[in-house]
Chain A
Amino acid sequence: MNSIEKQLLNEPKRIVQNVITAVILLIFIMWSLTAVDLSNFTSNGLAIAKNILLGIVTPNTDLLFTFNTNGVPYLLVETMAIAFLGTIVGAILAVPLAFLSASNIVPKPIAFLVRLFLILVRTIPAIVYGLMFIRVTGPGPFAGVLTMALTSIGMLSKLFVDVIEDLEVNILESLESIGCTPFEKIRYGIIPQLSAMFMSIVIYRYDMNLRDAAILGLVGAGGIGAPLIFAMNGYKWSEVGSILIGLMVLILIVELISNKIRNKLVRGY
């Protein structure tokens, strides 16, 4: 027996573990397969799939290139504006909440309570907030902004907390030892450590909010979702196609730009 074979025999035997994992996974799959219900699937579905594809290939170019309030470009700008304002308001609200739920800043019980609150805020679906805010502001993009702000808080503060808990305290101690005031400690010790990561997180959330803003229209909170659902319910596939194209192009471009900026912020190139 040479040394290679000996090494091979040293490999841990995981057969029992693997079989158990596989069985559990299989049980889960079988259980969830009961959710598949093809009874509503008719040949009609195939025709519709074909129509949607045809619509994307032959979009309604009038809609795609009109620059009044019904055209796709304006709707996209409105969607962007909703996501932008929502992200900024959400980010401003998330910063204090994040500090309040960081266990190295505030006492543990308070941090736990704030975390519980954040989970609560994060779990309620955006559409529910959307419908609630429509009662406040009436249908329109304003309700969308408020919804985006509220839904952003949850994730933003969760990510902010991770950054805050990784704060390098050595720097603060050395600043204190050379006689810096608390304000100077915050300005030169804390802000430079946090700002790049915070900005990167906020830009990432903007990316996500753009997608979510696109669906808020389904409840009447502005943006491109409402025209999409109207076009689909009216079987106007070329309009559906042009809206989908506009949405996809916008999201791709924004994602490209946001990735560039975030790489520059976090890694410096």
Chain B
Amino acid sequence: MSILKAKSVELPNGKTITFKRSKAPWIILVLLICFYYSVQITGFDMQVLAKRIGQFWVIIGDMIPPNWKYLNKLWQPLFDTIKMSLLGSILGAVFALPLAYFASSNMIKNKSVVAAFKFILSLLRTLPTLVAALIATFIFGIGTMAGTVAIFIFTVAYVGKLLYEQIENADLKAFEAMHSMGHTTISAFRCAIMPQIMPNYLSNAIFCFEGNVRYAAILGYVGAGGIGLMLNESLGWRNYANVGMILLLLVVTVFIIESISEYFRKKLM
């Protein structure tokens, strides 16, 4: 057990100092055990990978060149996807504000209310978007509405969590001063807290929208509308040239949206 023994050094003045014992060997051991069992459970096999990885490149090869004729069928679903994520993100970001307000412990003094709202937010966040979309297609029927709802739920949970953390970390001096001069809590919140959290709030909402476009692209897989439907169809028919076209369009769209969002987020900061 020599690697686990703490090192000690004797200083010139006769004092001995023992170093903190490193936990690294234990962590590595635990990781190795997890690794071993994960390999067993998932059937990870390098030989299979080495032998059959060619298939992967075959599919990629089929995607190039993409089927350009397919492009004019794609605009409508692409815009559906963007609309879905835009509406879901805007509504989600707006609804996140009151939820975050009730979930921040420095605004609401009632501890059980705060705990309840925090719990709701984290519960919503655990629901993977695709699962939410799947459930939504059962409730709202197949189409873009289901996708919008799924994105809305994710945005509320994500922006809401970041927002209540910011409200809790906000500087309360101005808020308290306004309170003491007779502002109501809501108007003091609007004038003293909102300016502090606004840049981060908007930046998070834009960032969330950016991610949502990417997520919305796959929501069609469960029937929630948008370009995912076309993707699913082309994958089903093994028409990889069409898949390549969809992916190319998606990459370009996401790149444009990402650049715009990065520009605005840099301005906000």
Give A residues with C-beta under 8 Å from B: 25, 28-29, 31-42, 45-46, 48-49, 52, 77-78, 80-82, 84-85, 88, 119-120, 122-128, 131-133, 135-137, 140-142, 144-146, 211-212, 214-215, 218-219, 222, 225, 228-229, 232, 244, 247-248, 251-252, 255
Contact = CB atoms under 8 A, between A and B. Distances in A.
A168 B43 CA distance: 42
Contacts of A247: 126, 128, 131
Interface stretch (B2-10, B14-22, B52-60, B99-107): B52-60
B49 interface: yes
A69 to B, nearest CB: 10
A125 B217 contact: yes
B194 to A, nearest CB: 14
Dominant SS at the B interface? helix
A207 B137 CA distance: 26
Interface stretch (B64-72, B81-89, B172-180): B81-89
A252 B122 contact: yes
B245 interface: no
Contact of A35 (B39, B80, B254): B80
B269 interface: no
Contacts of B141: 39-42, 45
5 residue pairs, one from A and one from B, having the closest CB atoms = A40-B141, A35-B83, A81-B38, A32-B87, A141-B42
A161 B82 CA distance: 29
Interface stretch (B109-117, B143-151, B182-190): B143-151
Contacts of A123: 214, 247, 250-251, 254-255
B127 interface: yes
A36 B146 CA distance: 9
Contacts of A215: 128-131
B35 A218 contact: no
Contacts of A141: 41-43
A218 B122 contact: no
B128 A142 contact: no
Q: Max chain A CB contacts within 10 Å: which of B83, B90, B131?
A: B131
B43 A140 contact: yes
Interface residues of B, number: 61
The interface residues of chain A, by DSSP majority, are classed as helix
Contacts of B144: 35-37
B37 interface: yes
Contacts of A125: 214, 217-218, 228, 231, 250
Contacts of B123: 248, 252
Interface string B207-219: 0000000100110
Contacts of A46: 139
B128 A212 contact: yes
B42 A81 contact: yes
B34 interface: yes
25 contacts: A32-B82, A33-B87, A35-B145, A36-B145, A39-B143, A41-B140, A77-B41, A119-B251, A123-B214, A123-B247, A123-B251, A123-B255, A124-B247, A125-B228, A132-B56, A135-B59, A137-B45, A137-B48, A140-B43, A141-B41, A145-B42, A212-B128, A214-B131, A232-B138, A255-B126
Given A35-B80, A41-B141, A211-B126, 20 more contacts: A25-B90, A32-B90, A35-B84, A40-B143, A41-B140, A52-B138, A77-B41, A81-B38, A84-B35, A85-B35, A85-B39, A119-B255, A125-B214, A125-B228, A137-B52, A146-B49, A222-B42, A232-B135, A248-B123, A252-B126
Given A123-B214, A132-B56, A248-B127, A255 B122 contact: yes
Nearest to B243: A128
B251 A85 contact: no
A80 B42 CA distance: 10
Nearest to A250: B126
Contacts of A126: 218
A51 B229 CA distance: 27
Nearest to B86: A32
B235 interface: yes
A142 B247 contact: no
A136 to B, nearest CB: 5
Contact of B48 (A28, A31, A34, A142): A142
B142 interface: yes
Contact of A37 (B56, B145, B221): B145
A163 B127 CA distance: 30
B128 A211 contact: yes
Residue with the highest number of chain B CB atoms closer than 10 Å, among A81, A125, A146, A212: A125
Contacts of B60: 132
Contacts of A84: 34-35, 38
Contacts of A85: 35, 38-39, 42, 44
Contacts of A78: 41-42
